[in-house]
Chains A and B, each alone.
Chain A
Amino acid sequence: MSAVGLVKRYGDLTAVDGIDFNVGEGECFGFLGPNGAGKTSTMKMIYGLATIDGGRLDVLGHDVARDRRAVKARIGVVPQEDNLDRAFPVRENLLVHGHYYGLETRALERRVDDLLRFVQLYERAGDNVMALSGGMRRRLLIARALVNSPDLVVLDEPTTGLDPQARHAVWTALERLKLEGVTLILTTHYMEEAERLCDRLVIMDHGEIITEGTPDELIAEHVGREVLELTIDDDTPVEDLLASLTSFYDSYERADRQLLLYAGDAERLLEAIDHSRFPCERSVVRRAGLEDVFLRLTGRTLRE
């Protein structure tokens, strides 16, 4: 799959502003970004719920703008919003959906039973979908996305709003799919999810891709290996105090009473800080993660 100069506009608003990306076969590719960054618009262009206003998008060898039906036959979609057909119970839900792909009933029934076992809903086959918990419905949506044995599955925030158990169940299912060689494209707000599942990812903001790489590459490139978190007083003269310590850290960031110092060796930095009698209430050394990269690149301003 490849996108070149992809653009999506809604009236005067440019939601996706000429992005380029490539996703290889069998890869899990993530889109991270604050609300309104253009992730969902990008997903909708892939699965045909949004028109393409500029650039070119090729999916599984087809130009999406010209050959949408062929693309949609080979992909599966897990939307952000639950849109299960409430008229049909669990198993029938998947059967009805499979018929939209023109799948033959006998083979479809076998496929559906396998999928229900795969997402651990076989026991609930006859239940009304509205009687399922949020986590079960999400798993059913994943099963539904697989009904046509797709080569590519697009997941828009697959674990938003789920409790930790349900989230882990979804992750386990997605990891199994990766093992089977299915290409996954997902958007998420959860850095832990991206680190765990994504082979490569991009971070989007204001409709543009601001960085791209493997989770480890991004962490190494933007924040270094470790982080020292200090809680300080509002009036601490950070700049003056840090002036003598520049050889111990790579960069720093201040957010209210938190001071984050990115360093190759945060323990050594902490020792140096103790020596310089830097006034702080609390200090924590931890591994740097994607969340640090994310906040560095997209800032801490609230997005609503």
Chain B
Amino acid sequence: MSAAELVRHVAPSPRIAARVWRRDAQNFSKLWRGALLPTFLDPLFYLFAMGFGLGTYLATIQGIPYKNFIAPGLVASAAMWSAVFETTYNTYIKMNENRLYDALVATPVEVPDLVTGELAWTATRSLVYGTSFLVVITAFGLVDSWWALLIPVCLLLGGACFGVIGMLFTALVPKIDLYSYFFTLFVTPMFLFSGIFFPLTKLPNALEVVAWFTPLYHLVNLMRELATGPDLWPVIGNAAWLLVLTALIYPLLAVKMRDRLIA
């Protein structure tokens, strides 16, 4: 593949990608009441069970009460779950069951526009889910810093990052059954071992290194730092890490989606 060809297969038209985003937003605007509630209750249950339940038996972690410790991490995980559901099951059904992407690619929408539009929507959805949970924990008095106002921006970034990973898996899997591997071997361990419920310093060294490479670890750090008043440089590092990973995976995703959609 020549460089010019690669650019053509990867570079989107933002104007046309926005049309794809608009379709998803329009769809969500009809469903959000039903769709938001379960994903929203999920972190709330964790907050109650772990924070207000288990947490009462624990002393503070790193000098902060346990419920305050886990609450920002749950904002990150809400964004993650939102993005991976959108780009796995939802995308799979749109692409393979409804053949919707075939219909889009027959219009002026090209594959990179489609992928970018879908990712933009995935990021938006993560923003909506994460921010609504942020509002809840703020109401519980679990957010201490005005820096938390930057959290929505970071949720967009996190959503895009989980989006490229989920959608890449969707571009590669032949059958819907294989998602259970994605969730059991990747998403759930990430949820448990990315520092939401306990600091990674308590893990064996090797696991800590593995966790460092997962995007959730960095998003959790971002959320916690911004909710409690950040050390600026580590936070910028976390954001940069997410940005770089997204930028690295995106071209591969665009090429793989093209292979999948165009014979």
Q: Would you mind naming 15 contact pairs between A and B with Cβ atoms under 8 Å apart?
A: A48-B262, A49-B262, A50-B263, A51-B262, A82-B99, A83-B100, A85-B103, A86-B100, A96-B26, A100-B20, A100-B23, A100-B109, A101-B108, A102-B15, A144-B103
Contact with B along A61-88 (1 / 0, CB 8 A): 0000000110011000101011111111
> Contacts A50-B263, A51-B263 given: A86-B108 contact, CB under 8 Å?
no
A10, A73, A101 — most chain B CB neighbours (10 Å): A101
Residue A47 interfacial (CB < 8 Å): yes
A270 and B19 CA atoms in complex are apart in Å by: 66
Residue B136 interfacial (CB < 8 Å): no
Q: What band does the interface of chain A fall in when counting residues whose beta carbon is under 8 Å from B? A: 20 to 34
Q: Which residue of B lies closest to A95 (CB)?
A: B26
Contact yes or no, A48 B23, CB < 8 A: no
Residue B144 interfacial (CB < 8 Å): no
Within 8 A of B (CB), among A168-227: none
B236: chain A residues at CB < 8 Å are: none
Residue B22 interfacial (CB < 8 Å): yes
Number of B residues whose C-beta is below 8 Å from A?
24
Contact yes or no, A99 B23, CB < 8 A: yes
Residue B102 interfacial (CB < 8 Å): yes
Residue A124 interfacial (CB < 8 Å): no
A41 and B263 CA atoms in complex are apart in Å by: 9
A199 and B94 CA atoms in complex are apart in Å by: 37
Contact with A along B244-258 (1 / 0, CB 8 A): 000000000000000
Residue A56 interfacial (CB < 8 Å): no
Within 8 A of A (CB), among B150-204: none
Contact yes or no, B99 A101, CB < 8 A: no
> Contacts A83-B103, A85-B103 given: A50-B98 contact, CB under 8 Å?
no
B100: chain A residues at CB < 8 Å are: 83, 85-86
> Contacts A49-B262, A49-B263, A51-B263 given: A100-B98 contact, CB under 8 Å?
no
A51 and B263 CA atoms in complex are apart in Å by: 6
Q: How far is the CB of A86 from chain B (nearest CB, A)?
A: 6
A68 and B8 CA atoms in complex are apart in Å by: 11
Residue B62 interfacial (CB < 8 Å): no
A49 and B104 CA atoms in complex are apart in Å by: 10
Residue A44 interfacial (CB < 8 Å): yes
Contact of B19 among A41, A68, A102, A144 (CB under 8 A): A102
> Contacts A83-B100, A85-B98 given: A49-B108 contact, CB under 8 Å?
no
Contact yes or no, A100 B263, CB < 8 A: no
Q: How far is the CB of A12 from chain B (nearest CB, A)?
A: 15
Residue A137 interfacial (CB < 8 Å): no
Q: Which residue of B lies closest to A50 (CB)?
A: B263
Q: How far is the CB of B19 from chain A (nearest CB, A)?
A: 5
Contact of B262 among A50, A69, A96, A100 (CB under 8 A): A50
A72 and B27 CA atoms in complex are apart in Å by: 24
A209 and B27 CA atoms in complex are apart in Å by: 44
Contact yes or no, A86 B98, CB < 8 A: yes
Within 8 A of B (CB), among A75-127: 77, 79, 81-88, 96-97, 99-102
Contact yes or no, A48 B263, CB < 8 A: no
Contact with A along B3-36 (1 / 0, CB 8 A): 0000000000001100110110011001000000
Q: How far is the CB of B84 from chain A (nearest CB, A)?
A: 20
Residue B232 interfacial (CB < 8 Å): no
Contact yes or no, A48 B105, CB < 8 A: yes
Contact of A68 among B98, B110, B263 (CB under 8 A): B110
Within 8 A of A (CB), among B19-65: 19-20, 22-23, 26-27, 30
B103: chain A residues at CB < 8 Å are: 77, 79, 83-85, 97, 144
Q: How far is the CB of A59 from chain B (nearest CB, A)?
A: 13
> Contacts A10-B263, A48-B262 given: A79-B106 contact, CB under 8 Å?
yes
> Contacts A49-B261, A49-B262, A96-B23 given: A72-B107 contact, CB under 8 Å?
yes
Q: How far is the CB of A103 from chain B (nearest CB, A)?
A: 10
A87 and B30 CA atoms in complex are apart in Å by: 9
Contact yes or no, A100 B108, CB < 8 A: yes
Q: How far is the CB of A146 from chain B (nearest CB, A)?
A: 13
Q: How far is the CB of A50 from chain B (nearest CB, A)?
A: 4
B104: chain A residues at CB < 8 Å are: 100
